[in-house]
Amino acid sequence: MPMKHRFLAVLFDMDGVLVDSEAFIAEAAVAMFAERHGVVVRGEDFLPFVGMGEDRYLGGVAEKYAVVLDMPWDKERTYALYAEVIHGRMKELPGAVGFVRECRRLGLKTSVATSADRGKMEANLRELGLAETEFDAVVTGLDISRKKPFPDIYLEAARRLAVAPVDCLVVEDALSGVEAAKAAGCACLGLTSSFGEAELRAAGADAIACDLAHAPSLDDPQFGKRRRS
């Protein structure tokens, strides 16, 4: 993989970047609404809330259907259903595991920075066969109060890695995540696993790829000239 040391760290969103979990979490959430509230919702109802953390992911759909959630129990039940749904079915997105390990081999610091809670992240890594220790830092939605599109999660990941945000590349698939990366001062590679190229560009993505198997070099001019404030 022809990667150069333009950046000092790579910050990975999880859903839509390392794994394609959106259909699975939507399946689990649909089942939870039916089981616990007797309400039939649709998988596509959750799309506007992708990348915003499970509280908003479930809460946004609950508002649409005038459902009063029983938190945290509804979320915990959704995670339990999710773990059942993904077992033996979830696969890495093309190139994901290899890209993470290549970054590590080249001496780049790495972090998972996901708006999901720790339980979902752990289930995903387990299915991928990636140990949490293969990352220099892990930040979940439980570690921050303001979720994407606020920059907090990427600022916290950079802080934990002791790397300036300007020296970080964020890999994202969600529009709110791209906005968060740019607001943090990071460069951003947008993957078209959830949204199209035009939408990702409009949100501020510096470069676009279909997946990490086709990611541009970290020294690609698409990322533009980095500037320190």
What residues contact 76, with CB distance under 8 A and at least 6 apart? Answer: 119
* Residues of the chain under the 70 pLDDT cut: 1-5, 51, 219, 221-229
Q: How many domains does the chain have?
A: 2
Residues annotated catalytic, as ranges: 13, 15
Instruction: Give residue 226's pLDDT.
Output: 46
Other CB atoms within 10 Å distance of the CB of residue 87: 11
Instruction: Give the closest residue to 10 by CA, choosing from 211, 187, 200.
Output: 187
- Same domain for 28 and 101, yes or no, is no
Domain around 75: 22-86
How far from the centroid of its chain's Cα atoms is residue 212's Cα?
13
Instruction: Give residue 5's pLDDT.
Output: 57
- Same domain for 69 and 176, yes or no, is no
- Same domain for 103 and 50, yes or no, is no
From 45, 64, 86, the end of a domain falls on 86
Summarised one tens digit per residue, pLDDT across range 17-36 is: 999 888 899 999 999 999 99
From 31, 55, 86, the end of a domain falls on 86
Question: Which SS3 state, helix, strand or coil, does residue 92 take?
Answer: strand
- CATH number of the domain residue 136 falls in: 3.40.50.1000
- Same domain for 133 and 213, yes or no, is yes
- Same domain for 38 and 140, yes or no, is no
Instruction: Give residue 100's pLDDT.
Output: 95
Instruction: Give residue 184's pLDDT.
Output: 98
DSSP 216: P
- Same domain for 184 and 208, yes or no, is yes
Q: For residue 163, is it within any domain?
A: yes
Structure tokens at 57: 């992911």
Helices 73-86 and 22-37 cross at an angle (nearest 10°) of 130
- Same domain for 81 and 54, yes or no, is yes
Instruction: Give residue 6's pLDDT.
Output: 77
CA distance linking residue 145 with residue 199, whole number of Å: 26
48 upstream amide cis, omega within 30 of 0: no
Give the global pTM. Answer: 0.83
Q: For residue 162, is it within any domain?
A: yes
CA distance linking residue 203 with residue 174, whole number of Å: 9
CA distance linking residue 132 with residue 138, whole number of Å: 8
DSSP 132: G
- Same domain for 108 and 168, yes or no, is yes
- Same domain for 147 and 74, yes or no, is no
- Same domain for 152 and 47, yes or no, is no
Q: For residue 30, is it within any domain?
A: yes
Instruction: Give residue 228's pLDDT.
Output: 40
Instruction: Give the closest residue to 74 by CA, choosing from 98, 58, 56.
Output: 58
In the chain, count H helices and then E strands: 8, 6
- Same domain for 116 and 62, yes or no, is no
Q: For residue 229, is it within any domain?
A: no
